[in-house]
Amino acid sequence: MSWMFLITMSISVLGASIPAEISYLYPRPGSRFVSPQATLLLRFHPQSARVSFLDSLFQVVGDRGGYYAGSCALADDGWTIMFKPHKSFQPNERIRVGIDTESAGNEPFQYEFVTSGTMQDTKEALNWGKQCFPEAKDMILTQGTMGRVQTINGVTVPSDFPRIRVSKSATNSPGYLFFGLRHSYFMILKNDGTPYFYHKSNDFLMDFKVLPNGYLSRTVDNWDTGERFYVTMNPGFTPADTFAAQWGYYTDHHDFQLLPNGHALLIVRDSQTIDMSAIIPGGKKAANVQGCHIQELDRNKNVIFHWSCWDYLDVTEANHMDLTDQSIDYIHMNSISVDYDGHLLASCRNTSQCLKIDRQSGEIIWRLGGVKNQFQFIDNAEQNSYQHHFRAVPGVKDHYTLFDNGNYHIPGYSRAVEFKVDVEEKTVETVWQYRNKPSHFSGWLGSVQRLANGNTLINWAYGGVPFAHEVTPSGETVYQADSPEDIPCYRCYRFEWQGIADRPYLLLEPYENWVTLIFNKFGDDNVAYFNIYTGPAPISMTLMDTTSQTKYEVTDLANHQRHYFKVTAVSKSGEESLSSGIEAIDIDYRDSDTNIVLNGDFAAELHPWEFVVHSPADARAFINDGMFKALIHRKGDNTDDIQLYQTGIPLYIGQTYQFEFDAYALAPREIEAKIVKAGFPYTDYSRIGFTALTSRPKHYSHTFEMNKVTDLSAKLVFNCGGSTANVYLDNVIVKRVEDTEIEDHSTVPHAFEVEQNYPNPFNGVTRIGVHLPEAGEVKLTIYNVWGQQVHEQNGFRQAGHHLIAFDADRLPSGLYVYQCEYIFHGDVKQSMQNKMVLMR
């Protein structure tokens, strides 16, 4: 054939039909938003055809990059042909492809696709994650813990280990519970609540489970470092392999499958700039629309199957999303799995749609739910709404379970449900469901697992309700475990599994005058004792002591030095295990009356303070007469768009601190003065709320107890955005105090009072004034006009006047009711409600 025809090929072949002899092709004819790093994928039908002439199979030409030479290879399935260009395609490039089927007696095939011009970078991906889960930051602030180092049936846990409460354990299924709690721990739990294994992590913990090969997998999703991938671990809890999105996409943290043949399935994402004004009235000309796709990787990490949402799902299918927003997460795929016949199952939350996808062609076999639902729900069956965790029932053809979040059920409720799908008759029947009495409602997260004995394990997701709730087919509860605090759990599984750690797991917990070492060799009942090593450097560590316990307190450590520790386990036969990871700590003991803040009076100019300004804000920092001044030209969109901060603030668990500063503004305004965790989730240790500044200098003093695990590098922050009034600061002091030293410079209210939110009506963020006569917990709950809870946040606050900010970014316009509850010693002492109006 003549390839000159290809170079002059017209746009008429952009959406050409795929010949019958081709069973799978990516990119498809007419595909748009294709990654410039993509590999071309091709399968012929039957499988054995045309694998002898790979080198001349493809001819690829771009209208910007010209001729694309490349190499062809077969994937490890012996079927998928991969053409990898020697150079990446250009952004926004029309690519013309010719496939030589002539030597097999067929006509040559030509088609076109168009590459993306806006593939998202890591920073944008992290911002997308925070937009998708706005609740995460607020919910983690109330995380309750054990409160002290404890040993539970021989397993020692740190002071911030979440409290797990088993309220019922009867004739439940065998096996352990596998789950992760956000920015906290992922763990394996015995039925009585004893940890079989745990690992502390600052990741956005999602899926933690047993794989078909007996290994474990979990997400690594760190919003500080930008790391995002899946890691597998062997039964010794040692990392074995990693899996991540290919072709420039970024790895979604919702689901991962490692198949028996060693192939991996991942959800991957990108974000494209789309002219929504051409699709809906009021749409943005350059909206940021997020897509979700599926990649199958072979054992060599080659992509051998790529399913793109841009080819199959319209943005308008997200009928509950505000498609006039600047940023639109129109699919939000939250689960993938394999059906009984080898095809793929996917849950698309924001379209309320469950998909079955042909794994050979990529075509959608059927759609369950959503605006393009293809089935009739019979016997008064209710459609799924914003569902999670769509799975085939093992061993039962055409039966599927899912966690139906029920965001748009009226009234809102969540349930575990099993559907029977009749593909021939196009009907769906509810054959089983469990709805708690009274109903639980979880607007996000959740999972359902059908167990081998017919029972069902349900995760209701939110803290305070069971994250592990096992029921029989008749609905009888046989097991229930929860965390009393608001710690969300994405998924929970039960598996029969055994593992023995090949080395101890070590954590350090510093206190005011000592360091506690916490170590466990999980699953190993053959440990006689532990060896503890320490030293000034990793290469010069010596044996310090031995112990048969799983914790050890170290005192008299040299101040202002870094100390290293590691631990090994010695078996009853005298064999020493591999070493734990090496952990280090910088000792910085300070006198109780010492100001922890460096250069708090700004006598040394700004050092070591940092002043940062984020667009669209515009501000400058000055030191005048020993006082800090923020000269603000543009206020920005958020308070943290203009920020003065200092890191390295040591806060010890159980200690009380006084936080003081002098401040005023050019005109009355608010700032945020707080001490927080330096990395995500930026836990607010000081719990002060907004500080109201006047045009006259004033001394502000707040006391707080450090009720989280010790943080030796906390961040002191003054957020000054949101107003153009200049801010003046001086004499910043943080010091440890005894209770008798605490001075209260604020006026304590005589009674609990909740003010009308301001502004009202509002667009985006509003603030609610709350007055507390005594320190206690304040719980803010927002309801829509149907009485459905749409938001909740709570936190401990000192006695005094506070402003609670509520961000309604993800809610539609309308009337809402807000309720503030004043909780004292665990009991709701007072509760007040008021109305507010959100106007977009």
DSSP annotation string for 218-273: EEEE-TTT--EEEEEE-TTS-EEEEE---TT-EEEEEEEEE-TTS-EEEEEEEEEE
- Residues 6 or more apart in contact with residue 591 via CB below 8 angstroms: none
- Confidence at 624, pLDDT banded by 50, 70, 90: confident
Which structural domains are found in the chain, ordered by start?
4-114 (2.60.40.1220), 122-495 (2.120.10.30), 506-586 (2.60.40.10), 610-741 (2.60.120.260), 753-838 (2.60.40.2550)
Task: Give 58-85 pLDDT, tens digit per residue.
Answer: 999 999 999 999 999 999 998 899 999 9
- Residues 6 or more apart in contact with residue 485 via CB below 8 angstroms: 142, 143, 144, 145, 162, 163, 463, 464
Ranked by mean pLDDT, which of 147-156, 629-638, 674-683 comes out on top?
629-638
What is the maximum alpha-carbon separation in the chain? 94
- Per residue in 387-411, is it b (16+ CB within 10 Å) or e — as a string? bbbbbbbeeeeebbbbbbbbbebee
Joined together, the tokens standing for residue 574 give 């005298």
Q: Among candidates 785, 680, 665, 804, which has minimal Cα distance to 723?
A: 665
Q: What is the mean pLDDT of residues 521-539?
A: 96
Residue 125 Cα distances to 227, 665, 770, angstroms: 11, 36, 36
**Residue 488: its pLDDT value, please?**
81
Q: What is the mean pLDDT of residues 550-558?
A: 91
- Confidence at 52, pLDDT banded by 50, 70, 90: low
**222/698 Cα distance (integer angstroms):** 40
Would you say residue 746 has pLDDT above 50?
A: no
Is the separation of the CB atoms in 335 and 346 below 8 Å?
yes
Average pLDDT, the chain: 87
Give the gyration radius of the chain's Cα atoms: 29
Would you say residue 220 has pLDDT above 80?
A: yes
Joined together, the tokens standing for residue 755 give 């003010």
Backbone region of residue 3 per phi and psi (left: phi > 0; alpha: psi in -120 to 50; beta: other values):
alpha
Comparing 514 with 521, the larger pLDDT belongs to 521
Strand 109-114 to 150-152 pairing: unpaired
User: Can you tell me which residue has the tokens 């729900």?
Assistant: 377
727-737 sheet: strands from edge to edge: 618-624, 627-634, 727-737, 656-665, 698-705
- Confidence at 8, pLDDT banded by 50, 70, 90: very low
Strand intervals (E) in 603-757: 610-613, 618-624, 627-634, 642-651, 656-665, 669-676, 690-693, 698-705, 711-719, 727-737, 753-754
Q: What is the mean pLDDT of residues 691-699?
A: 90
Is the separation of the CB atoms in 399 and 377 below 8 Å?
no
Joined together, the tokens standing for residue 123 give 């920073």
**622/150 Cα distance (integer angstroms):** 49
**662/15 Cα distance (integer angstroms):** 67
- Residues 6 or more apart in contact with residue 620 via CB below 8 angstroms: 630, 631, 633
Task: Give 274-321 pLDDT, tens digit per residue.
Answer: 999 999 999 999 999 999 999 999 999 999 999 999 999 999 999 899
- Residues 6 or more apart in contact with residue 115 via CB below 8 angstroms: 33, 34, 35, 36, 38, 89, 90, 91, 92, 93, 95
Chain centroid offset of residue 476 CA: 32
CA torsion 159-162-163-164 (nearest 10°) is: -140
User: Can you tell me which residue has the tokens 């007996």?
Assistant: 214
**549/495 Cα distance (integer angstroms):** 29
Comparing 246 with 131, the larger pLDDT belongs to 246
HEC profile of 604-641: CCCCCCEEEECCCCEEEEEEECCEEEEEEEECCCCHHH
399-404 sheet: strands from edge to edge: 376-377, 427-434, 415-422, 399-404, 388-392
Percent of the chain's residues with pLDDT above 90: 61
Specify the length of the chain in residues: 840
- Confidence at 11, pLDDT banded by 50, 70, 90: very low
**Residue 273: its pLDDT value, please?**
94
3-state secondary structure of 506: strand
Amino acid at 736: R
Give the global pTM.
0.80
Q: What is the mean pLDDT of residues 363-380?
A: 94
Residue 259: count of CB within 10 angstroms of its CB: 15
Helix or strand run (H / E) with residue 135:
helix 135-140
**738/682 Cα distance (integer angstroms):** 26
**Helix-strand-coil percent breakdown of the chain, rounded to 5?**
5, 45, 50
- Confidence at 123, pLDDT banded by 50, 70, 90: very low
14-18, 265-269, 344-348: segment of lowest average pLDDT: 14-18
- Confidence at 146, pLDDT banded by 50, 70, 90: low
**Residue 128: its pLDDT value, please?**
45
**Residue 202: its pLDDT value, please?**
77
- Residues 6 or more apart in contact with residue 655 via CB below 8 angstroms: 512, 705, 706, 736
Comparing 724 with 381, the larger pLDDT belongs to 724
CA torsion 50-298-448-145 (nearest 10°) is: -170
CA torsion 357-361-362-366 (nearest 10°) is: -30
**Residue 137: its pLDDT value, please?**
37
Task: Give 791-838 pLDDT, tens digit per residue.
Answer: 888 777 777 777 787 878 778 888 899 999 988 766 787 888 888 888
**652/705 Cα distance (integer angstroms):** 9
**527/570 Cα distance (integer angstroms):** 6
Would you say residue 632 has pLDDT above 60?
A: yes
Task: Give 652-684 pLDDT, tens digit per residue.
Answer: 887 889 999 999 999 989 999 999 998 877 889
Ranked by mean pLDDT, which of 344-353, 430-439, 557-566 comes out on top?
344-353
**36/23 Cα distance (integer angstroms):** 23
Task: Give 643-655 pLDDT, tens digit per residue.
Answer: 999 999 999 887 8
Amino acid at 279: I
Joined together, the tokens standing for residue 667 give 């005109």
Would you say residue 138 has pLDDT above 60?
A: no
553 burial via Cβ count (<10 Å: 0-12, 13-18, 19+): exposed
**581/587 Cα distance (integer angstroms):** 19
**408/389 Cα distance (integer angstroms):** 17
Task: Give 422-465 pLDDT, tens digit per residue.
Answer: 999 999 999 999 999 888 888 889 999 999 999 999 999 875 68
**59/85 Cα distance (integer angstroms):** 10
**Residue 201: its pLDDT value, please?**
86
Joined together, the tokens standing for residue 493 give 């599984």
Joined together, the tokens standing for residue 789 give 């809870």
**721/725 Cα distance (integer angstroms):** 9
**597/203 Cα distance (integer angstroms):** 29
Cα angle, residue 496 at apex, residues 490 and 499 outer, rounded to 5°:
95
